[in-house]
Structure 1
Amino acid sequence: MHNTDETLVQHERRTLADDLISYGPDAPTILEGWDASDLLEHLLVREGRQDLMVGPKLPIAPLARAAERSLEKLRETPWSEQVARFRAGPPRLSPMRPLNSVANTVEYFVHHEDLRRARPGWQARALSPAHESELWSRLRTMARMLVRAEVDVTLVSTHGGIRIPAKTRRGADATGAVLVHGTPGELLLWAYGRDQVTDLEVEGDPQSLLALRRSRRGF
């Protein structure tokens, strides 16, 4: 039995690691061009080898080659060992270690769903009330950065509402208003642009809905 007091970031790290082992490195994700191995590489580099995020693109050839060799070494590591590294958490000297909850809670949740929802017959998970509340709190702080639309958007869940004012050109008026209803998890995925796999209800007049379709979401 797992600890019911684990935080959401702990829960997502553990269950994502379990699914990575279960699905295997070649499992698809909903991200174009990425399979499970690409997803895990992103997570490992992000929290353990940030230098490799830009290293292969450096204009200094020896540094770029060294970074590429490090990436190849990671890719050649057995899958179970790669997952074990992720499961263990950020390395001791990683800047992500003290920021684990702040930096990784949403990252893990969204990428976990990127993996889960690429599988036929997927179903949305039932999260605990505490974890739903944490997602809602994270969404509240991020919503205005994630959603950029020429229409006023209000995200609605059983936890309340989050209003995101329209972002228009200087002097222009908002193109109406829309309501987006869903659970905190579904609304968070929508705000990250995962439209194709979210279960939501959107309300608004035709002109407002058209403006919403032109919106930009995610980072």
Structure 2
Amino acid sequence: MDSPAPGIDAPAPFVRREREALADDLVGFGPDAPTILDGWSAAELLEHLLVREHGVLAAAAARSPLAPLRRRGQEALASFGELTWAQQVAIFRAGHRRFSPLHAADRALNTVEYLVHHEDLRRARPGWEPRALPEADERTVWKYLGLMSRLLIRAGVDVVLVGPSGGLRVPARGGQSHGSVRVHGAPTELLLWAFGRDRVARVRLEGEADALLALREADRGF
């Protein structure tokens, strides 16, 4: 890829832009906004993101069999709930500290996480429509889908994810296939489908009835 011309700033990385966009919608929609995840409002979604990024050690301590450690962990997690909604979103928007070991891994750890959870929030709203992501971002999604698809899709059928730039084959688990299914869609839609967001993923499935039934009964996502 060519370098930007002098005087023209390079676009921010996809992961950073998606973090900003998700933070903007969290502010705009508010803590009580629904998501497509059962039992999760925007507040529960943000809590998950904050604990994941800033409270992993506290969460582990909160499950400790040692009472003092468990108490400190629980207190640390509870401190997030004592902040205002704006403060919580601001912490999420700021991301990892620059010298945090997780800062360097931001793209690998969070690109897919932010995209999927942003759509969990967006697609729970009446009248939602898919976003038109830049082609470069869709190519990035396709790359991650190639890396993750065999972990996400656990089925007794062969699955081929068909996007604009080709196909990704996910072999049947267990070495014995009950047929094959082709899933067509844009990379982001295929990613959402692979994460089990069937209610909102705009994909088209092709295959024999038995294979389609076996796929519906299979596990997807983490």
Question: TM-score under structure 1 normalisation?
Answer: 0.93
Residue 149 of structure 1 pairs with residue 152 of structure 2: no
RMSD: 1.4
Instruction: Check the 8 A contact 2:158/2:177 in 1, yes or no.
Output: yes
Instruction: Check the 8 A contact 2:20/2:93 in 1, yes or no.
Output: yes
Which ranges in structure 1 are unaligned for 5 or more consecutive residues?
A: none
Residue 27 of structure 1 deviates from its aligned partner by 1.0
Runs of 4+ more than 6 Å apart: none
Residue 107 of structure 1 pairs with residue 109 of structure 2: no
- Matched residues in 2 for 1:8 and 1:158: separation? 20
* Matching residue's letter, 2:180: A
The count of corresponding residues between Structure 1 and Structure 2 is 214
Question: TM-score under structure 2 normalisation?
Answer: 0.92
* Matching residue's letter, 2:210: Q
1:210 corresponds to which residue? 213
Residue 57 of structure 1 pairs with residue 60 of structure 2: no
1:40 corresponds to which residue? 46
- Alpha carbons of structure 1 residues 28 and 114: separation in structure 2 relative to 1, 3 Å: same
* Matching residue's letter, 2:27: I
Identity of aligned residues (%): 52
Aligned partner of 1:10 among 16, 34, 40: 16
- Matched residues in 2 for 1:105 and 1:55: separation? 27
Instruction: Check the 8 A contact 1:47/1:94 in 2, yes or no.
Output: no
Residue 53 of structure 1 deviates from its aligned partner by 2.6
- Alpha carbons of structure 1 residues 48 and 92: separation in structure 2 relative to 1, 3 Å: farther
Residue 4 of structure 1 deviates from its aligned partner by 7.0
Which ranges in structure 2 are unaligned for 5 or more consecutive residues?
A: 1-8
Q: How does 1:58-97 map to 2 (within 5 A)?
A: 58-97=64-103
- Matched residues in 2 for 1:31 and 1:134: separation? 25
- Matched residues in 1 for 2:197 and 2:58: separation? 27
- Matched residues in 2 for 1:188 and 1:4: separation? 26
Worse-matched range after superposition: 197-206 or 28-37 = 28-37
* Matching residue's letter, 1:16: L
1:196 corresponds to which residue? 199
Worse-matched range after superposition: 196-205 or 24-33 = 24-33
Residue 76 of structure 1 deviates from its aligned partner by 1.1
Instruction: Check the 8 A contact 1:192/1:217 in 2, yes or no.
Output: yes
Residue 187 of structure 1 pairs with residue 190 of structure 2: yes
- Alpha carbons of structure 1 residues 139 and 126: separation in structure 2 relative to 1, 3 Å: same
Residue 11 of structure 1 deviates from its aligned partner by 1.3
Instruction: Check the 8 A contact 2:138/2:187 in 1, yes or no.
Output: yes
Instruction: Check the 8 A contact 1:181/1:187 in 2, yes or no.
Output: yes
Residue 158 of structure 1 pairs with residue 164 of structure 2: yes
Worse-matched range after superposition: 155-164 or 61-70 = 61-70
Instruction: Check the 8 A contact 1:7/1:131 in 2, yes or no.
Output: no
- 3-state secondary structure, aligned to 1:179: strand
- Matched residues in 2 for 1:59 and 1:186: separation? 42
- Matched residues in 2 for 1:53 and 1:95: separation? 18
